């Protein structure tokens, strides 16, 4: 009979239930692949009395998470409870006891990944977190192992299903923000409090993890240039749509070749039709990695939900079991130097409310170009709500700081009554 390996799991929500179902239902297949049979021995839950969808007759439920971590019968700790504490302390405790940890916790890895990976290395334990980014899409493995020969230049991605579902519905059906949030909640993607998703924190955590693995530097989540989608107006989804763009919450990271300085941002971004992110709709995720040898690698598909996330968790368990003697190395971690706004190039989409004099377009374009912001297209549009006409402008690549200063000046132009929207834009390759 093949040897077995004890699994203890923290949490039994949507992901935990799917993990338990796979470990219990496919133990033979998983054992053949791992060379040792992973056996789910204990699960720590908050409420021992709740009924569960999964048959746990040979699994001990406990409310004592610390005792589970300490249990000598538990070789691998699977953390799928979510939230920062007590998850982080329990992960630390397990690693300090030399136990391998598999976690789906993006907040903990984004904030404390390097410290935990160091702890794992010093105790000969493994720290696995494929499920923290992109559900079943192997983005962590791609960056941590498969691009091990490459110098990564940049990451462009859609990694938050809630906002992508919302933006898709808002664009395609014209539903309001509140209705779109409710749909994402009903489908199990958004939390009761959706702010981590709609304010861009969830995407920022995932971007921090990707950048850590891609560039070997650890950027604090607070240092990400982050804007959520609360201010995205239906009008701008429609206008950018007419111009051939789709608005996405794009998580972008880049590294300057010479200085090694990095820039991370999460912002609503107008994506052109010829870009691989354009057609990534609804709950799909996609990550585009640019690097010097592989050139372009794109991973896309279902990026979340219980089953997809369980795919990543359980494949980590299988790999951890198979390579117990060789835990994965801690990713390189240096202090980041952040690119200045003077060095980060962006293009933009602007919607202005202007005076009906007919002179606004010429004045605005002149002013922007005088201040170093190229204007690649300008469109006069009729008034929306009030009496004043509108002006849409597409600006070309210029440093963020140049853009920002020009916008401040634009706001003081007599013909400009209001800057109704200023959004990042990816330029079409055509």
DSSP 101-119: EEE--HHHHHHHHHHHHHH
Told to check if 382 binds its own copies by CB under 8 A, we report no
Stretch that binds its own copies, among 102-110, 134-142, 170-178, 402-410 (CB under 8 A): 134-142
Q: Which of 48, 326, 429, 430 binds its own copies (CB under 8 A)?
A: 326
Told to check if 319 binds its own copies by CB under 8 A, we report yes
Told to check if 82 binds its own copies by CB under 8 A, we report no
Q: Which is nearer to its own copies, 39 or 347 (CB)?
A: 39
Told to check if 333 binds its own copies by CB under 8 A, we report no
Q: Which of 1, 50, 325, 430 binds its own copies (CB under 8 A)?
A: 325
Told to check if 256 binds its own copies by CB under 8 A, we report no
Told to check if 405 binds its own copies by CB under 8 A, we report no
CA 121/CA 100 separation, integer angstroms: 10
- Residue 87, both tokens: 């998850």
Told to check if 151 binds its own copies by CB under 8 A, we report yes
Q: Which is nearer to its own copies, 24 or 182 (CB)?
A: 24
Q: Which of 13, 29, 179, 356 binds its own copies (CB under 8 A)?
A: 29
Q: How many residues sit in the footprint of its own copies (CB under 8 A)? A: 54
Told to check if 334 binds its own copies by CB under 8 A, we report no
Tell me the C-alpha to C-alpha distance, in Å, between residue 315 and each of 99, 138, 299. 17, 10, 17
- In the complex, the smallest distance separating the C-beta of residue 8 from its own copies, rounded to whole angstroms, is 18
Q: Determine the number of helices (DSSP H) and then strands (DSSP E) in the chain.
A: 14, 16
Is 422 strand, coil or helix? strand
Q: Which of 99, 106, 206, 248 is catalytic?
A: 206
Q: Which of 81, 91, 101, 147 binds its own copies (CB under 8 A)?
A: 147
Q: Which is nearer to its own copies, 294 or 338 (CB)?
A: 294
Tell me the C-alpha to C-alpha distance, in Å, between residue 377 and each of 82, 88, 240, 348, 350. 46, 50, 12, 11, 10
Alpha helices in 154-228 (DSSP H): 161-173, 177-186, 195-198, 201-215
CA 119 to chain centre: 25
- In the complex, the smallest distance separating the C-beta of residue 9 from its own copies, rounded to whole angstroms, is 14
Burial class of residue 326 in the structure, from the number of CB atoms within 10 Å of its CB (0-12 exposed, 13-18 middle, 19+ buried): exposed
Q: Which is nearer to its own copies, 19 or 204 (CB)?
A: 19
Told to check if 359 binds its own copies by CB under 8 A, we report no
- In the complex, the smallest distance separating the C-beta of residue 378 from its own copies, rounded to whole angstroms, is 30
Told to check if 315 binds its own copies by CB under 8 A, we report yes
> 206 an active-site residue?
yes
Q: 333 with 117: CB under 8 angstroms?
A: yes
Told to check if 98 binds its own copies by CB under 8 A, we report no
Stretch that binds its own copies, among 129-137, 220-228, 264-272, 415-423 (CB under 8 A): 129-137
- Residue 327, both tokens: 């835990």
Scan residues 271-310 and list those touching its own copies (CB under 8 A). 276, 291-302, 307-308, 310
Maximum Cα–Cα distance for the chain, whole Å? 86
Nearest 5°: phi and psi at 398? -155, 160
Told to check if 251 binds its own copies by CB under 8 A, we report no
Q: What is the dihedral of CA 346, 347, 350, 356, to 10 degrees?
A: 120
Stretch that binds its own copies, among 171-179, 222-230, 262-270, 319-327 (CB under 8 A): 319-327
Length of the chain: 430
CA dihedral sign, ordered 342, 201, 116, 294: negative
Told to check if 318 binds its own copies by CB under 8 A, we report yes
Told to check if 313 binds its own copies by CB under 8 A, we report yes
Total Cβ atoms within 10 A of residue 43: 26
Told to check if 26 binds its own copies by CB under 8 A, we report yes
Scan residues 31-60 and list those touching its own copies (CB under 8 A). 32-35
Which residues lie closer than 8 Å to 414 by C-beta, 6 or more apart? Answer: 355
Is 418 strand, coil or helix? strand
Is 269 strand, coil or helix? strand
Is 24 strand, coil or helix? helix
Q: Which is nearer to its own copies, 23 or 394 (CB)?
A: 23
- In the complex, the smallest distance separating the C-beta of residue 77 from its own copies, rounded to whole angstroms, is 17
Binding site for its own copies (CB under 8 A): 18, 22, 26, 29-30, 32-35, 130, 135-138, 141-142, 145-151, 276, 291-302, 307-308, 310-315, 317-319, 322-326, 329, 332
Write out the catalytic residue numbers: 206
């Amino acid at each position: 009979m093949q040897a077995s390996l004890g699994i203890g799991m923290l949490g039994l929500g949507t992901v935990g239930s799917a993990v338990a179902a796979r470990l219990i239902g496919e133990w033979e297949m998983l054992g053949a692949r791992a060379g040792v049979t992973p056996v789910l021995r204990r699960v720590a839950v908050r409420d021992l009395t709740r009924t569960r969808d999964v048959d746990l007759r040979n699994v001990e439920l406990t409310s004592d998470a610390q005792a589970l971590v300490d249990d000598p019968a538990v070789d691998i700790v699977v953390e799928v409870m979510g939230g920062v504490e007590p998850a982080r302390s329990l992960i630390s405790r397990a690693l300090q006891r030399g136990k391998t940890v598999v976690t789906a916790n993006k907040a903990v890895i984004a904030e404390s990944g390097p410290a935990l990976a160091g702890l794992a290395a010093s105790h000969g334990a493994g720290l696995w977190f494929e499920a923290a980014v992109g559900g079943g899409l192997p983005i962590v493995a791609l960056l941590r192992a498969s691009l091990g020969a490459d110098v990564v230049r940049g990451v462009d991605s859609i990694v938050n299903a809630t906002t992508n579902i919302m933006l898709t519905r808002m664009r395609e059906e014209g539903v309001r923000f509140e209705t779109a949030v409710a749909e994402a909640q009903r489908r199990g993607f958004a939390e009761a409090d959706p702010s981590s998703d709609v304010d861009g924190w969830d995407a920022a955590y995932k971007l921090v993890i990707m950048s850590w693995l891609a560039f070997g530097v650890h950027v604090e989540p607070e240092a990400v240039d982050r804007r959520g989608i609360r201010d995205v107006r239906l009008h701008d989804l429609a206008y950018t749509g007419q111009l051939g763009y789709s608005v996405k919450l794009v998580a972008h990271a880049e590294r300057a070749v010479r200085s090694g300085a990095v820039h991370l941002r999460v912002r609503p971004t107008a994506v052109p039709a010829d870009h691989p992110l354009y057609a990534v709709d609804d709950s799909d995720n996609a990550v585009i990695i640019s690097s010097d040898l592989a050139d372009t690698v794109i991973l896309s598909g279902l990026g979340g939900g219980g089953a997809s996330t369980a795919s990543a968790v359980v494949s980590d368990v299988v790999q951890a079991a198979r390579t117990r003697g060789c835990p994965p190395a801690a990713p390189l971690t240096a202090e980041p130097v952040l690119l200045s706004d003077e060095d980060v190039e962006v293009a933009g989409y602007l919607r202005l409310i202007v005076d009906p004099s007919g002179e606004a377009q010429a004045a605005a374009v002149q002013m922007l170009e005088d201040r170093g912001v190229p204007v690649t297209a300008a469109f006069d549009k009729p008034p929306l709500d009030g009496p004043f006409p509108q002006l849409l402008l597409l600006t070309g690549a210029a440093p963020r700081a140049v853009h920002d200063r020009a916008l401040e000046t634009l706001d003081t132009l007599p013909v400009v009554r209001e800057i109704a929207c200023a959004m990042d834009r990816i330029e079409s390759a055509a």
